[in-house]
Structure 1
Amino acid sequence: MSTVDVHQHLWTPSLVEALRSRREPPRLDGWTLYLDGEPPYEISPADHDVALRAELAAADGLGRALVSLSAPIGVEWLPAVEARPLLDAYHDGAAALPEPFGAWAAACVRDVDADATAKELDRGFVGLQLPADALADAAGYARCAPLLALLEERGLPLFVHPGPAAADSCDGPGWWPAMVPYVQQMHAAWFAFRAFGRPRHPRLRVCFALLAGLAPLHGERFAARGGPEGEADPDVFVETSSYGPAAVTSLVHALGVDAVVQGSDRPYAEPPRHPGFGLGGAAAYAFRVANPRRLLTGRE
């Protein structure tokens, strides 16, 4: 397998059109995005130009760039009758993207329909992304169990990404959603998987966005407060978007080099200038090639 970025976003014309057709959030007015819980966000059209993004992927030396639906916009939490047109638009556009792009499927988590998700996975999606706030407790894992069982059955991975920010997040500065609710969601999702997800889904491979909100660095407190001991889970991964050498090095110390995969969150963040994050060429190969291969295929 070639070099992989597991975390990018690219809005195809079909998704843009579907968001512009809505009158309630999430919706687009021109290129202004309106969401519940966040201030209006001006989107650069060039960020979602397929040809330009393919050129950027080539410049980054990527063999594959995996895109996903932007979970913070809240599509997955809409009632099925509202979510379905947006999910269809996302899947149709993502499935038609040229090389080097691949894509994660998406699913409604308010009204779970594993059969619909199975049909999308049949189209060649690499796995399924779900919002972290849908997997933050035992009830979330019970609700999403049919989707996770489907992934286990097919040997496909789960990608956990921050979901919508809380409704009062727009009261803070523009960086607040990314630094507080998104990180909190990932922290909760990391420990919820340990408590409720792994016991229920022993064969599931899972990747947590943005280094799982740095939750793995709380291992000492976890142990001090009665958390179960055990070896690192070889089927659990974290991706690196928006972090640098200090955080990545700390996560490697906590989880081992085999748990980290490269993700950039492009176009909302840039990929690292030094893919090894100061840990050397072997680490860069692990993050960009070997570990993504195990995440996506389950094979060394």
Structure 2
Amino acid sequence: MRVDSHQHLWPEPLVAALSRRREPPLIRRDDRGWLLRLRGEPDCAVDLADHDPERRGQWVEADALDRALIAISSPLGIEALPADEAAPLLAAYHDGVAALDERFGAWGAAGLAESDPRQVDALLARGFVGLSIPAGAIATPAGLDRCGALLERLERANAPLLVHPGPAPWSPAPDAEDGLPDWWPAMSGYVAQMNSAWHAFVATGRADHPRLRVLFAMLAGGGPLHAERLAARGGPGLKVDDDLFVDSSSYGVQMIDHAVRVLGVDQLVYGSDRPVLGSLDCPLGEAVRQAMLVTNPSRLLQPKEVLA
């Protein structure tokens, strides 16, 4: 099965819920079309046609995929909202993506202000492949501790974790400065969050969750490529970890090639980040493409056993 492990789709119930909000995250329609308003980011235009399930299903087929895995758009900050605000938005997301056809699977999401590990059980029982967590939530060892009950429940269920850029209640998005270009958050805060989450997991996460399978979006913000600097600064050397994966979202052949050289091809998974970005035509050869699209996603997603 050829899998894209990282896409986003806002189902109609979520769009409706976001349009009813008076504080970010919200969407509004004006004479320019639909605008997305987030804390800490410039307003940006969104094309809701890109979130039409039938159109997206056609993209799945055009990209010669068998399945695309949908994740909540964590930069929206839904998981970081107070519990009473997060709950209806999470329900809208989960109900909407659960109704998609067989061309799609989905990652579940959990509110973090009052996290309950039973959320994990309920999501897995509904068929979600695992849990997505904002990188800001686990960007330090203390953040990993705060999310420890969720991660432990995932580990016991032998289900994977997706780490994606986004804020947490204890790590809010910074206020946006005037005059910054639209791409600024993606090249500053998002990268820093992913890099920090990678190194937090290296520092304490793996020891605390030795059997948890983890997928870091966007090559973990380049975190693995800093292995030499980490060792030079007294950190642990890079070890082979069969259960630690990175996806290719936002990157092309040069960075993917570097990641293969550092981590090995067995830890690389294809993620397009559609509709933010288009599909990637990987020019590294058919063997790498097969590993990214078929072999490695299977290792990430397929449970071997459930812990007692």
Q: What TM-score do the two structures reach when normalised by structure 1?
A: 0.96
Cα pair 1:75 1:87 within 8 Å, conserved: yes
Alignment of 1:89-168 (within 5 A): 89-164=92-167, 165-168=173-176
Question: Which has the larger displacement, 224-233 or 9-18?
Answer: 224-233
Q: Residue 13 of structure 2 aligns with which residue?
A: 14
Q: Residue 291 of structure 2 aligns with which residue?
A: 286
Is 2:197 the partner of 1:192? no
Which residue identity does 1:27 align to in structure 2? Answer: L
Alignment of 1:198-237 (within 5 A): 198-229=206-237, 231-237=239-245
Question: Which has the larger displacement, 72-81 or 226-235?
Answer: 226-235
Is 2:255 the partner of 1:247? yes
The Cα shift of 1:270 comes to 1.0
Q: Residue 74 of structure 1 aligns with which residue?
A: 77
What whole-Å deviation, never above 9, does each CA across 1:83-106 have from its counterpart, x for those lacking one?
000000000001111121000000
Which residue identity does 1:16 align to in structure 2? Answer: V
Cα pair 2:25 2:77 within 8 Å, conserved: yes
Aligned residues: 295
Cα pair 2:215 2:244 within 8 Å, conserved: yes
The Cα shift of 1:169 comes to 5.3
The Cα shift of 1:230 comes to 5.2
Q: Residue 29 of structure 1 aligns with which residue?
A: 28
Cα pair 1:137 1:196 within 8 Å, conserved: no
The Cα shift of 1:166 comes to 2.3
What whole-Å deviation, never above 9, does each CA across 1:31-66 have from its counterpart, x for those lacking one?
221111111121102111110100010000111100
- Output the aligned Cα RMSD: 1.2
SS of residue in 2 equivalent to 1:42: strand
Moved over 3 A (4+): none
* CA distance in structure 2 between the partners assigned to 1:265 and 1:146 by the alignment: 28
Cα pair 1:25 1:36 within 8 Å, conserved: yes
What whole-Å deviation, never above 9, does each CA across 1:111-134 have from its counterpart, x for those lacking one?
111113321221000000000000
Which residue identity does 1:218 align to in structure 2? Answer: H
What whole-Å deviation, never above 9, does each CA across 1:158-200 have from its counterpart, x for those lacking one?
0000004422356411110001100010000000001121111
Question: Which has the larger displacement, 57-66 or 230-239?
Answer: 230-239
* CA distance in structure 1 between the partners assigned to 2:119 and 2:97 by the alignment: 16
SS of residue in 2 equivalent to 1:47: helix
Change (3 A) 1:37 1:171: farther
Cα pair 1:112 1:143 within 8 Å, conserved: no
The Cα shift of 1:231 comes to 2.7
SS of residue in 1 equivalent to 2:274: coil
SS of residue in 1 equivalent to 2:43: strand
For structure 1, which runs of at least 5 residues remain unmatched after alignment? Answer: none
* CA distance in structure 1 between the partners assigned to 2:61 and 2:141 by the alignment: 41
Which residue identity does 1:20 align to in structure 2? Answer: S
Cα pair 1:68 1:103 within 8 Å, conserved: yes
Is 2:266 the partner of 1:258? yes
Change (3 A) 1:77 1:215: same
For structure 2, which runs of at least 5 residues remain unmatched after alignment? Answer: 168-172
Alignment of 1:165-180 (within 5 A): 165-168=173-176, 171-180=179-188
